Amino acid sequence: MEQKPYVIGLDLGGTNSEFGIVDKNANIIASTRVKTAGHGDINQYVDDCVAALRPIIEQVGGIEKIHAMGIGAPNGNYYSGSIEFAPNLPWKGKIPLAQMFHERLGIPVRLTNDANAAAIGEMQYGAAKGMQNFIMITLGTGVGSGIVVNGQLVYGCDGFAGELGHVIVERDGRQCGCGRKGCLETYCSATGVARTAREIIEKTDKPTLLREIPLDKIESKDVAIAAGKGDEVAKQIFEETGRILGEACANFTAFSSPEAYIFFGGLAKAGDLIMNPIKKAYDEHVLRIFKDKAKFLVSELDGAGAAVLGASALGWEVK
Amino acid sequence: MEQKPYVIGLDLGGTNSEFGIVDKNANIIASTRVKTAGHGDINQYVDDCVAALRPIIEQVGGIEKIHAMGIGAPNGNYYSGSIEFAPNLPWKGKIPLAQMFHERLGIPVRLTNDANAAAIGEMQYGAAKGMQNFIMITLGTGVGSGIVVNGQLVYGCDGFAGELGHVIVERDGRQCGCGRKGCLETYCSATGVARTAREIIEKTDKPTLLREIPLDKIESKDVAIAAGKGDEVAKQIFEETGRILGEACANFTAFSSPEAYIFFGGLAKAGDLIMNPIKKAYDEHVLRIFKDKAKFLVSELDGAGAAVLGASALGWEVK
């Protein structure tokens, strides 16, 4: 039987849900988008997604041309096809999303962690080509991770492995959306950087471009812009963020000794401003036997596209 | 060609080196022991080991009956067959131990981390039978670990993965033999427990059986004996140790979400005294999606025997 020529990839983020129809050569043939934020009713959300998909499915020749669908979503469970207790999504509890799309579209649907999907994309098309051991870290609204060991995604006993954003890096530290305190993502996500910015600006009298923005409106990209202009306070914010991330990576290396860390997402686009402090803290904290081994890379794939490609690759796993 | 009936297993510890000749049914047919501590000259050490092995090799019918040798050693590198920068062994730098035994015995020799060897033993004969994802934690002079993901040992890009004893759990904490500060093993190894005992006894006026022992002579087994008699200070020492270990495990779960943690070594023999505080701290700190999933088990295999069996199992991997 001839395999159908396309898969659908869905990169489900806290703000937007990005869809792509992808061919076997990793070309995104058609794409569409639905807002995730504000879509509190999960049935309405899936209906709206399917309505947005219909025209692009027709554009490639109809549903009979679609082999399967792959979804990358926060707290996505590969084994069950559900999203479970995702702190940054509008839906509470367990959401059997793969099943819900399957019922409406009539095609097989696979689902995984959004960061795992990004790792799969990076392994197939990006900076991790040919690597057997690497850790993908996604720096977005939250901090996610996809861990590859011996060439395989680490799903663990329950499908949820690779939640490095919720490693506690500071005992009794910042309150996290997960209900605990001191998680990596409270410091190193885009929102964590904004929090650090507010803390540092309030504590210092130093002049900074960031004072031109109301304190509660500062975003991580403002910090990146100011740091790019040489603003000392903005650079200090990135140094603090990079230090925490680099120290955390030194601990992760004791676990799986990856060939590379690959950073993905808005914050990673700050380049050396964030990567240099990460590498410096890592070098200072990593166990001697691991020194000078891991590479620190920025994703080679374009933001939304990479995650959509990664999610779509899950679709090709359907036999 | 008929496969030879025995393998040699070597469990190389900071104090002793335990050898066993093992058959395919995991019976230790013959065994011997050489002191590791004080053996500063590596050539002399290997010569002494081989001299100790000769009579037991003859006992099973000579070297032609031995298929291969497997070694479990601290900082052992599976890929290179070397011990590299092991802080708790008498030898500095890189020691090509597998090659050295191979040259003297004329049989293939494989080497891995001592804790990885214990994990292999546990997977084949013990509490981890049939598990695809688990973490073995060895509580001895140091703290070691063997991590199994998707049924495979995690060796990482360089052969050194799984050094969870050197995850930093306390920034600027206790000085570690590795040169850094605050490593898990400075708190949760046998020596870490003795250190905690000294700190707590000096800080408190409470009556405790442990005051009958000179402060600098207290060992973790003294703490276990006192705690077993209901001594409140001794129980507090285990609670503090278990808390740190349980919090660390909560972070490890965010990495690989294991089905079980299996504890091995002298400290694990304290049973509920240490396991209950571990489980309590773990439950309090683990991310919600992982709650009530991982089992906390004590090794089902006998101390030295398990590590020798694990090391020997490496020998059977030689084709």
Burial (CB count <10 Å: 0-12, 13-18, 19+), residue B300: middle
Q: What percentage of chain A exceeds 70 in pLDDT?
A: 98
A-interface mutation test, from B166, B180, B252, most A Cβ less than 10 A away: B166
Partnered with residue B12 across adjacent β-strands are B17
At B21, the pLDDT band (50, 70, 90 cuts) reads: very high
At A2, the pLDDT band (50, 70, 90 cuts) reads: low
The pair of structure tokens assigned to B152 is 């495979």
A50 near A63, Cβ under 8 Å? no
The size of chain A, in residues, is 319
More confident residue, A125 or B5: B5
Maximal C-alpha separation, chain B: 70
At A106, the pLDDT band (50, 70, 90 cuts) reads: very high
Q: pLDDT value at position B180?
A: 96
At B217, the pLDDT band (50, 70, 90 cuts) reads: very high
Tell me which DSSP letter residue B26 carries: S
The pair of structure tokens assigned to B112 is 């891995």
CATH assignment of A130-299, among 3.40.50.720, 3.30.420.40, 3.30.1050.10, 3.40.50.300: 3.30.420.40
Which residues in chain B are closer than 8 Å to A162, comparing Cβ atoms? 254-256
Which residue from A181, A231, A183 is spatially nearest to A207, judged by alpha carbons?
A231
Angle subtended at Cα B306 by Cα B303 and Cα B309, rounded to the nearest 5 degrees: 150
Closest chain B residue to the Cα of A172, Cα to Cα? B285
CB atoms within 10 A of CB B59: 12
DSSP run (H or E) holding B32: strand B28-35
Closest chain B residue to the Cα of A83, Cα to Cα? B289
Tell me which DSSP letter residue A181 carries: B
DSSP run (H or E) holding A58: helix A42-59
For CATH 3.30.420.40, the residue range(s) in chain B are: 6-120+304-316, 128-300
Q: Do B289 and A161 touch (CB under 8 A)?
A: no
Work out the minimum CA distance from A163 to partner chain B, whole angstroms: 5
Which residues in chain B are closer than 8 Å to A258, comparing Cβ atoms? 156-157
Helix axes A114-125, A303-316, angle to 10 degrees: 90
Predicted ipTM > 0.95: no
CA A122 centroid distance within chain = 12
Concatenating the DSSP letter of every residue in B189-211 gives SHHHHHHHHHHHHHH--S--GGG
Q: Do A158 and B290 touch (CB under 8 A)?
A: yes
pLDDT, chain A, mean: 93
| pLDDT higher than threshold 80 for residue A317 | no
For CATH 3.30.420.40, the residue range(s) in chain A are: 6-120+304-316, 130-299
Q: Select the residue of B147, B247, B288 nearest A178 (Cβ to Cβ).
A: B288
Check the CA dihedral A202-A208-A211-A217 and report its sign.
negative
Q: How far apart are alpha carbons A66 and A107 in whole angstroms? A: 8
Tell me which DSSP letter residue A170 carries: S
Closest chain B residue to the Cα of A147, Cα to Cα? B255
At A3, the pLDDT band (50, 70, 90 cuts) reads: confident
Taking only the tens place, the pLDDT of each residue in A54-95 is: 999 999 999 999 999 999 998 889 999 999 888 789 999 999
B168 near B183, Cβ under 8 Å? yes
The pair of structure tokens assigned to B60 is 């099973």
Which residue from A193, A228, A287 is spatially nearest to B177, judged by alpha carbons?
A287
- Can you identify the CATH homologous superfamily of domain B6-120+304-316? ATPase, nucleotide binding domain (3.30.420.40)
Amino acid at B297: L
At A303, the pLDDT band (50, 70, 90 cuts) reads: low
Taking only the tens place, the pLDDT of each residue in A37-50 is: 999 999 999 999 99
Taking only the tens place, the pLDDT of each residue in A119-158 is: 988 887 789 989 999 999 999 888 999 999 999 999 999 9
B187 near B167, Cβ under 8 Å? no
CATH class of B128-300: alpha beta
How many CB contacts within 8 angstroms connect chain A with chain B? Answer: 137
Q: pLDDT value at position A284?
A: 95
Which residue from A268, A298, A306 is spatially nearest to A116, judged by alpha carbons?
A306
CB atoms within 10 A of CB A148: 26
Q: pLDDT value at position A304?
A: 58
List CB contacts of A212: < 8 A, sequence separation 6 or more. none
Which residues in chain B are closer than 8 Å to A168, comparing Cβ atoms? 247, 250-251, 285
Q: Select the residue of B158, B180, B290 nearest A257 (Cβ to Cβ).
A: B158
Phi-psi category of B55—alpha, beta or left, where left has phi over 0 and alpha has psi -120 to 50?
A: alpha
Q: How far apart are alpha carbons B142 and B183 in whole angstroms? A: 10
